[in-house]
Structure 1
Amino acid sequence: MSDVSIKVILLVLLFVSAGYIFYLRYKNFSLRSTLDDTLHKKAEIGNFLSIFSKNLKTVEEIEDSMNMTARYVADLVGSSSLCIFTMEEDDCLKAAGIAGAFPPLHKSTEYVLTKPRFILESLRREKIKLGDGIIGEVAQSRESLLIEEASADPRVAATGSVIPIETLMAVPMVKEGKLIGVVCAVNSREDGKSFSPEQFSALKFMASQVELAYNIVKVYSNLSKQQRINQELEFAKQLQSSLLPKECPEWGQFSVHAFSKSAKEVSGDFYDFVEVDKDRMLVIIGDACGKGIPACLLMFMARSFIRANIERYSTLNELMRDLNNNLYRDTSAERFITIACCLLNRRENTIEYVRAGHTELLLCMPAHNHKLRKIFTQGTALGLMPGDMVEEFETFTFSFYKDISILLYTDGITEALNKNDEEFGIERLKDNFMSSCEGRSAPQETIEKILRSVDMFVEETPQSDDQTLVVIKHRDNFV
């Protein structure tokens, strides 16, 4: 049993114990029968705890726990039916827990059916405004109500209920000046008798216990939902981790290294290495719009499409066009992804580059007058527009000389902010990359150098976007 469940049960024990103490008081047990009755009630409490804890194990059964609470209070005060109404966010009251065949207590066009179960289904859907009917009046006035002879009361007659109402009592639930709801009991279990002042006092006392039980249920419900979200995030995190390549490849003369760090539990950034055939490997970097699970799912869709279809494409332009059409068809309008790909050909010693709305490729050539070039090719982000509105994805092919180094990155690197809201920027990235190339650093060392520089720049400022780097170097171009 989880810590949350134990805490819930302890709180419920407080609720039940308080109700039990009052139960003994209002029933006015004599000293002669205290022992026998106490043992009997202890058994009832144990049974109640067992039922309550079982009902609170899942979020789906939260409503059942309130129905069980309603049945418990109905038993305690001796009413044939009882309903717990709670305030909703729209300032209306709604039935949260029902015991027995509870009648409608305000005029409604929904209550045209006569079968109790249909009336109860309508009651659960109904929203009661403050001041509307008996329940709305009690909520608005925040004053308890006891109607001993309901047949003579015009408020009861106005309900038009097909379920006979002989006697009624309603109590508002108020905590620290805030209205939580109303507890209403209808008809005594002793046929023909009105609710007594003792029963009315019992319900007024139990209203505070019902409010406590309702808060327990709400807290547990919220915790359970959060736990479920955490489980889903953990699953998505594990799934994403399993999808990232376990090793960085040595592909002929190409040495590749990559690193990705998410800003949240799961990332919209990704990289991948896909072997097309014995000579070619596709290196991919991507950045899905947004963060968290939605971005992660978009990343997963793009990655899966490329891996499943890469072998049937003869050009990177065709691959990008079909990937765009696929994402546009299957995602909402505000979702898109940017991608850059380098097709490494170890037989011809070439690289073919394509870009779909992604950041530019940085090409460093220290032996060629220490030049560092930014390579832009035309191509829009994927998933934004239908295929007939998308222009060709321009590709750029170049020979892979020994002194060439390549850097692919996502904008989480250049847009990393420090405490003064200044961005790390493209110039700092270029300087770090150029310095690493001149020092003939290995791909992994190059990435580590850039990340250290980013960390020093941002200091304690929290990471606001996913960060991914991919470095490709010639095997003869580092120590």
Structure 2
Amino acid sequence: MHGFLLWLAIVSYLVLLVIVSLSLYISYKRRVKLRTERDTLLLEKEAALGFVNNVGQVFADSDSVEMDVLLERVLYYAVRTCKAGAGCIHLANPKAGRLEARAVSGVFPPPFDINIEHIDLQNNATEQLERLVLNTPIPLGKGLIGEASVLGNSILIEDGEMDSRIPQAPVPFLKIKTMLIVPMRFGNRTIGVMTLANRTDGRRFALSDLNLAQSLASEASVPIHYAGLQETLEEKRQLDRGMQIAQQIQNSLLPQELPSFPTVDIAAFNHPAMDIGGDYYDFIRIDNQHIGLAIADVSGKGIGGALMMAVCRGVLRVNAENVYDPATMLSSLNKTLSTNLADDMFISMLYMVLNLDTHLLSYARAGHEAPIIIRSNDPKAEQIETAGIAIGLVDNDTFAATIETRNITLHPGDLVVTYTDGITEAMNSSQEEWGTENLIETVERMANATAGDLLENIHKDVLAFTGNCRQHDDMTMLALKIK
């Protein structure tokens, strides 16, 4: 009996010893795990603080931040911190529907199919590979990087050689062994993707590496977002400077002063809808007895319309000398310009030739509004339509066969007013057009005024009608009155 009790005591002691040992072991493992987690959190915290300080130097060193410099700094720090062999940052271009590589570090093996034959492995292969990555946009939603940008989820590739989503190049240094793909988000929007490839120590990326990369990507997103805003603002400033230069050039192409003649009063104005426009007017001295007067409207607005207007002006001035028939002159313009016009662009033009001695006015219309004519002995205006097609719409034979010249003799007090459709189609906040009737009524009412006073009054009336409503077409007018 005593022997049994002794044996039971020994067994109980051993069981208790095992339980205590297990408890101590579990406690030890828990402490180790907590210590590891603590060390990992401390590492992430130190990495984040170091990254903020590192990137902050970019902002401190300059009044403005270059996006490429910032991205290179971000990528360098991420590659070093995560012990990656290479990395790349793509920025989203939502308008183009793609991601564009803006920074590359190390020999980055692209996670998309490439034609290795296009890379000379014996001559600057690293530079060629970097150019290939930088020049190959990734469609949003396509491939691992494109998918991460759309879904906003990070991707951990522990073993790239066993992952069917990873293309494997036949060259060892381009093989992807392990990879991290981390979206860079600002608010609810993905602004880019950071990709890290192949650890330098040969190990696989783990979840802790992914967490660290995500932390860095999160920290980087804020400065990258604001640097992007600054980059966009600078692009706009450069565009504005270009527009100002283009506006100055265009203004220099319009007549800087009106010609003065003893028996003819001439006035004109141009009011572009944007900084630069596609309307044009000009006065050309054909010879001592004749003057050419042109008013035109290029269908394209902005820089394209302005450039074509400049070309039109140059061709007209070169060819106008000793040409007295407007239809012939416009046919020559169509022959020269139609081959240079874009498919969606054309030019409407009214060209007039005035004999300064006899006051014979010849005019032809290439799809343009007919001139408004008021005789001194008749208060009612007339608009006589003539055949003609806009420049650039048909071949020269059809154009020449269609267009016609009309001749009228003007007398003292007679008035001729020409305009572009931006005048009659000027619109107010109620979507109402000023209209041809208002224009003609104003011309008839002020028929006894000088050409300059008439156009100034019309300009004021149109602007008063439109108010603050933005216009989408240029306004141009030209008038002549026989003294």
Q: TM-score scaled by structure 1?
A: 0.78
Cα distance in 1, alignment partners of residues 371 and 46 from structure 2: 81
Aligned to 1:473: 481
Find the partner of 2:85 among 57, 68, 80: 80
Q: Which of 175-184 and 228-237 deviates more?
A: 175-184
Residues 411 and 98 from structure 1, CA distance in 2 versus in 1: closer, same or farther, beyond 3 angstroms? Answer: same
Residues 362 and 419 from structure 1, CA distance in 2 versus in 1: closer, same or farther, beyond 3 angstroms? Answer: same
Aligned to 1:15: none
Cα distance in 1, alignment partners of residues 202 and 352 from structure 2: 87
Cα distance in 1, alignment partners of residues 48 and 186 from structure 2: 28
Residues 308 and 128 from structure 1, CA distance in 2 versus in 1: closer, same or farther, beyond 3 angstroms? Answer: closer
1:48 shift after superposition: 4.5
Cα distance in 1, alignment partners of residues 148 and 470 from structure 2: 51
- Opposite residue 421 of structure 2, the aligned amino acid is D
The unaligned stretches of length 5 or more in structure 2 are 1-41
- 1:373 counterpart SS class: coil
CA contact (8 A) 2:422 2:473 kept: yes
Cα distance in 2, alignment partners of residues 407 and 383 from structure 1: 25
CA contact (8 A) 2:422 2:474 kept: yes
Residues 441 and 23 from structure 1, CA distance in 2 versus in 1: closer, same or farther, beyond 3 angstroms? Answer: farther
Larger Rg: 2
Cα distance in 2, alignment partners of residues 137 and 418 from structure 1: 48
Percent of residue pairs bearing the same amino acid type: 24
Aligned to 2:15: none
Cα distance in 2, alignment partners of residues 370 and 156 from structure 1: 86
1:416 shift after superposition: 1.9
Find the partner of 2:297 among 287, 301, 320: 287
CA deviation map 1:188-214 (0-9, x unaligned) = 44x456668775543221111332344
- Opposite residue 414 of structure 1, the aligned amino acid is T
Question: Counterparts of 1:66-465 in structure 2 under 5 Å?
Answer: 66-87=71-92, 89=94, 95-105=101-111, 108=113, 110-111=115-116, 115-124=125-134, 125=136, 127=138, 132=143, 142-143=153-154, 145=156, 147=158, 150=159, 154-155=162-163, 159-161=167-169, 162-163=172-173, 168-189=179-200, 191-192=201-202, 200-367=210-377, 369-390=378-399, 391-437=401-447, 440-465=448-473
Cα distance in 2, alignment partners of residues 362 and 451 from structure 1: 16
CA deviation map 1:120-168 (0-9, x unaligned) = 4444426377584598579758245373xx48x7229964252265654
- 1:184 counterpart SS class: strand
Find the partner of 2:46 among 20, 26, 30: 26
1:64 shift after superposition: 6.1
CA contact (8 A) 1:52 1:68 kept: no
The unaligned stretches of length 5 or more in structure 1 are 1-21, 30-37, 57-61
1:433 shift after superposition: 1.0
Residues 135 and 184 from structure 1, CA distance in 2 versus in 1: closer, same or farther, beyond 3 angstroms? Answer: farther
1:247 shift after superposition: 1.7
Cα distance in 1, alignment partners of residues 260 and 254 from structure 2: 17
- Opposite residue 362 of structure 1, the aligned amino acid is I
Cα RMSD, aligned residues only: 3.6
- 2:163 counterpart SS class: helix
1:178 shift after superposition: 4.2
Q: TM-score scaled by structure 2?
A: 0.77
CA deviation map 1:362-402 (0-9, x unaligned) = 111132x4342222222221121110111253222232311
- 1:251 counterpart SS class: coil
CA contact (8 A) 2:91 2:101 kept: yes
- 2:300 counterpart SS class: coil
Aligned to 1:10: none
CA contact (8 A) 1:139 1:182 kept: no
Cα distance in 1, alignment partners of residues 330 and 70 from structure 2: 53
Residues 135 and 322 from structure 1, CA distance in 2 versus in 1: closer, same or farther, beyond 3 angstroms? Answer: closer
Residues 414 and 184 from structure 1, CA distance in 2 versus in 1: closer, same or farther, beyond 3 angstroms? Answer: closer
